[in-house]
Structure 1
């Protein structure tokens, strides 16, 4: 595993979630996978489940039927995983059927826990036993619940105290959400109280929230992915990006990183001699005869910063001029009695 699990080709780890956008059509899942490969992301994400191991047939028969319609087979998921591997793209999944772990684990370097499973402690325990990095989405949750889940994982295995093995995504679990419901600042709260890497799982329309989250320090970006939003009824398509939009987002990320630059503050070569020409020094405001005790009325601060720096203004007050001084001439300390 690389030193920083969450470092992507373009800065943040980019996860294109096909999820259920294939709507149970394997050929369409393959098509979306090829498009996502062309989008130059770090990971392509899927959701692995069966309706009967996810939703109660009695308590929620409509949703049970919905998820059954979106199922793919074991062989189909493996084929998608192998295609990702062949293309040099990471394969990622939210595994909602724990019986799938035995055959899908060899393809998964990272596990993604969806918001709905954040409090499913038996699921978390089973995945933690695999000792692989986990990304935790936090839609639907209070801060206290997030902290409790983090603590649970860290009790299960000390490995999840290592920031290379656990990260947290801000998420609002609705499709779509208005910008006012993104609450990107929660990422900074997570970073402050947990010390873990943070990121953003997007359910807004467009890519503005994703770009803004990068500027705010997101190390992981997860976004839904589709070929087109036109004519699609399944809700996830509405919040999905296309290949062209992902490539545009990558360009924006590059610009953001360029603008962020180096955190060490110092004069830069591009500023040239401006450190002298833009800054001020102390000059005589009027003619000053030798023997004059300097008062504020005698002085003015002007550009360029030649001679006595403006920060030494107060030190000149009360000094006695040893020579005649002309207005606006360059001053040196040797012109004054010490």
Structure 2
């Protein structure tokens, strides 16, 4: 398990809307069975659990979207995203070079807080390693005029955002006006230009049917979305594995027909490493392990990092204790270095 997969990414191009992309017949029972089967196969323990937890960390858009967000809140968020573990922890258990590699993929904030995130990451020298994502286009409801939503995107980019998480206009989905939805997302793609990646939030809990989820995903990808995202985190129903599987089916079909790669971002309800492993297993078994990079897969989460830290700290402490116990019983050479052993095991996984 290589947790250090990083590569550059460029925005996707749009394609003309084509009604044949929207033809779909979904068996909800079959979707649920597949998702359940995959989730039951994704039990990890020991070193593997630590490695998967670290991968989840590096795929996380660490998020704060509260009404009482302040400059100090955003600064603390950026600090956690850049330095999730204190340097001393890595000095004891890991190769020193890992300290610079283990960080969140991005921070995600409201447009008004982008300047705070940019200033903080600039101060830390992390603008090239931790992206700044901004929710925009009338988040979370999209119940604003189109021009206002487009201006919000431009404002966020001017303030320093490198990724824009827009929320689609759900009423267009519910009435089946796919061309209007396409045109809106196309304008938002244009507003992002080459300056920012475009993630489109479907708000799956408010789309009515799985067919609508699939069609909305397809329309967004045709309009040039770089990622499709499940939820705002504000809906009653957020990210679930069956809905995620439907969105993955759309990504697979879109890639088959256009040869374009679109990323996937579950958000809302991903709170534990167990949750994250289930999602990563779903993606690896359907799209392949190569999809588990920040350029193709993200988590939108605010509380996930707490569980990641606990799993990693507890797991590494247990590994160190196990190695020490074996050494005391003469099962390891006297000159055996426990920290090197831990590092080698993590590197293998």
| TM class by smaller structure | 0.3 to 0.5
The structure with the largest helix share of the pair is 2
TM-score by length of 1: 0.45
From the CA coordinates, give the structure whose radius of gyration is larger: 1
Structure with greater proportional strand content: 1
Of structures 1 and 2, the one with the larger relative CO (CA 8 A, separation 6+) is 2
**Normalized against structure 2, the TM-score is what?**
0.44
